[in-house]
Amino acid sequence: MAEQQTTRRLSAILAADVVGYSSMMGIDEAGTLAALREVWQQTFNPAVTARHGRIVKMMGDGALVEFPSVVSAVECAAAIQRAMGERNLAATPPIQFRIGINLGDVIVEGDDIFGDGVNIAARIEAIAKPGGVSVSATVRENVGNKLELAFDDTGEHSLKNIEQPIRVYNVVLDAALPKTAAMAHGSGTRTKGSVAVLPFSNMGGDPEQDYFAEGIAEDILTELSRFRNLFVIARNSSFSFKGKGLGTQEIAKALNVEYIVAGGVRRIGKRVRVAAQLIHSTTGQELWAERYDREVEDIFVVQDEVVRTIVVTLESRLQLAIANDASKRDLPSLAAYECVQLAKKYVAQHDAPRAMPFVERALQLDAEYAVAHAMRAATFYVQYLGTARADTLDEMAAAARTAIGLDDGDSSGHALLGMALILKRQYELAASHLERAISLNPANATAMAYQAELFLRNGDFATALKTMDELLQRDPIPATWHWEIRGMALLMLRRYHEAILAFSRQAHPFWYIHGYLAMCQARLGHLGEAKAEIEKLLSEMPEMTIGRYPEIEPFRKQEDRDFMAESLRLAGLPE
């Protein structure tokens, strides 16, 4: 009898269990089995199939499901629980699931899976609320803002037979962003992308702290104003409502804005807490909120750090909210600004075919819209990542040059031209554009990440990693492509296990990610895993060779190129 092959892989694991199954069986065994069979066939299994999940095993009152995408796993769980909620309004007996989801390493034996990745999902499911979905911190981090769902942090939990405490989040199923047509059009004639920053409240009651609260809000307003694609109301207008007791929706109506940023500051002894929130002005819904606790040694240093952190996160959440609003409408009805926001959303998902029509429409509406040309460069960049075509890289550079030709103060245009020049091996010129991008907007996380890649290509791997660490502190749930830059730095620092984990967080693994994973596995002596990654690479880029790889993925120093070549040779890439 042939021995089954045992392998490992990173998977999103969903564990589901029927609440009160034993009691239901004791009351009406036949009715319970019939109802549950119907739920599996009509609700649960179709939801899994639609999101490319694999049902590993059914256990009568439960199921274990594996997904290649953590986003798909959470989306599936939310769909199941919402469908069950609707079912239970009329059907009997009512059936409720508890669902737990984890992202982790699993052992694969035949069609079955084992290991801590599975065990943690099962333990999280056990503490989930009836009708609810609970997820691990790794799931929460990787989902980021890709789904219109909110998450409630329940803190760390000691789970049975799990060595370390696990932080668990509950998915708030009724907190999705509004979807109705009335809500989508509710902002009327308000300026698209308009936001007002209100003076932050002094929650501690000490009048001497008013200056600090006001300074935080002023700095957030100033930093948000650096983003060319936002319309930020001037301080004199937004601060004029201080102490007047008006609600955020009343203020938004008076200022004619779509979004409000509000918050508060509390100082107790040597600690300060700053809370910030983003509010949709029409509905009054809180789209994002966070709080930041800091030790106070130099109050102005704390102020600068908190403002930088808030602005990086706030800008990305604000852009997502604008894109979600625009996505509810047909393309011909969208303004150029809205088209750019939707293109940005799809670029972030590495979906160039969906992004480009919105870019083209924006430029049809306004051919001299610098931000649209910058987004065109970003879309070409995503295309290049998938194809490595030199003409696409040329298109990226040309679009970025057009953007900064129209507006030399456009930070994004300079950042994208800098990235194109890195790939063209024009490192000094790339450095100047990236420095310009960051000087124009210190909160431009993309420019900072591209600068980290420049450090990487120049052989300064420690500085590249330090830059990405600092960026992660500012935005704890970054765009997933940030992890590939981190992974490359860790690989070149010979920290292979950490590099593999970083690469696994990239939601869209382009061909070169398989190459880097192959290098890591080969250097660890895992030649079978390395060969598997090379096969994936060649399935996407059949003509790739050891000689061509460093031409497309350039490193400045010969010793670094030699290290890559030898690693790929160990992994089995053709010469």
What would the pLDDT profile of 106-163 be if each residue is shown by its tens digit?
998 888 898 888 999 999 998 898 889 999 998 998 888 777 778 888 888 888 878 7
In which residue are the tokens 């549950």 written?
A: 36
> Mean of the pLDDT values across residues 17-45?
86
- pLDDT above 70 for 474: no
> Mean of the pLDDT values across residues 410-423?
91
What is the pLDDT, as a whole number, of residue 453? 93
C-alpha–C-alpha distance, residues 16 and 131, integer Å: 10
- pLDDT above 50 for 101: yes
Domain assignment of residue 184, yes or no: no
Domain shared by 251 and 349, yes or no: no
Residue 82: C-alpha distances to residues 43, 86, 281 (Å): 10, 6, 27
Count of domains forming the chain: 3
> Mean of the pLDDT values across residues 179-188?
29
CATH number of the structural domain spanning residue 417: 1.25.40.10
Domain assignment of residue 236, yes or no: yes
What is the pLDDT, as a whole number, of residue 90? 66
Domain shared by 354 and 249, yes or no: no
Domain assignment of residue 420, yes or no: yes
What is the pLDDT, as a whole number, of residue 16? 95
Domain assignment of residue 471, yes or no: no
| Of the listed ranges 71-75, 296-300, 409-413, the one predicted with least confidence | 296-300
C-alpha–C-alpha distance, residues 103 and 66, integer Å: 10
CATH number of the structural domain spanning residue 130: 3.30.70.1230
- pLDDT above 70 for 198: yes
Domain shared by 297 and 379, yes or no: no
Domain assignment of residue 276, yes or no: yes
| Of the listed ranges 18-27, 132-141, 365-374, the one predicted with least confidence | 18-27
> Mean of the pLDDT values across residues 531-550?
91
Q: Among 400, 336, 344, which Cα is nearest to 364's?
A: 336
C-alpha–C-alpha distance, residues 547 and 487, integer Å: 22
- pLDDT above 80 for 283: no
Highest mean pLDDT among 56-60, 219-223, 373-377, 546-550: 373-377
Domain shared by 145 and 102, yes or no: yes
Residue that finishes a domain, picked among 442, 459, 489: 442
What is the pLDDT, as a whole number, of residue 5? 54
Domain assignment of residue 33, yes or no: yes
C-alpha–C-alpha distance, residues 392 and 284, integer Å: 43
With beta carbons less than 8 A apart as the criterion, state whether 23 and 79 touch.
no
What is the pLDDT, as a whole number, of residue 325? 64
Domain shared by 154 and 210, yes or no: no
Q: Which 8-state DSSP code applies to residue 233?
A: P
Domain shared by 280 and 377, yes or no: no
Domain shared by 16 and 135, yes or no: yes
| Of the listed ranges 375-379, 472-476, 511-515, the one predicted with least confidence | 472-476
Domain shared by 202 and 161, yes or no: no
C-alpha–C-alpha distance, residues 94 and 474, integer Å: 45
Three-class SS state of 178: coil
CATH number of the structural domain spanning residue 244: 3.40.50.10610
What is the pLDDT, as a whole number, of residue 326? 59
With beta carbons less than 8 A apart as the criterion, state whether 412 and 437 touch.
yes
With beta carbons less than 8 A apart as the criterion, state whether 12 and 65 touch.
no
Domain shared by 242 and 336, yes or no: no
Residue that finishes a domain, picked among 172, 203, 237: 172
With beta carbons less than 8 A apart as the criterion, state whether 344 and 366 touch.
no
With beta carbons less than 8 A apart as the criterion, state whether 397 and 417 touch.
yes
Domain shared by 106 and 206, yes or no: no
**β-sheet bridge partners, residue 424:** none
Domain assignment of residue 111, yes or no: yes
What is the pLDDT, as a whole number, of residue 21? 84
Residue 436: C-alpha distances to residues 131, 304, 327, 468 (Å): 51, 20, 32, 19
C-alpha–C-alpha distance, residues 488 and 482, integer Å: 10
Mean pLDDT score across all residues of the chain: 82
Domain assignment of residue 307, yes or no: yes
- pLDDT above 60 for 188: no
> Mean of the pLDDT values across residues 268-279?
80
> Mean of the pLDDT values across residues 234-250?
73
Domain shared by 379 and 283, yes or no: no
- pLDDT above 50 for 471: yes
pLDDT tens across 309-355, in order?
A: 667 666 666 666 666 665 655 555 456 767 887 888 888 888 899 98
| Of the listed ranges 35-39, 395-399, 444-448, 505-509, the one predicted with least confidence | 505-509
Domain range enclosing 361: 330-442
With beta carbons less than 8 A apart as the criterion, state whether 50 and 56 touch.
no
Residue that finishes a domain, picked among 442, 467, 497: 442
Domain shared by 63 and 105, yes or no: yes
The two three-digit tokens of residue 211, written as one number:
């200056």
C-alpha–C-alpha distance, residues 546 and 87, integer Å: 56
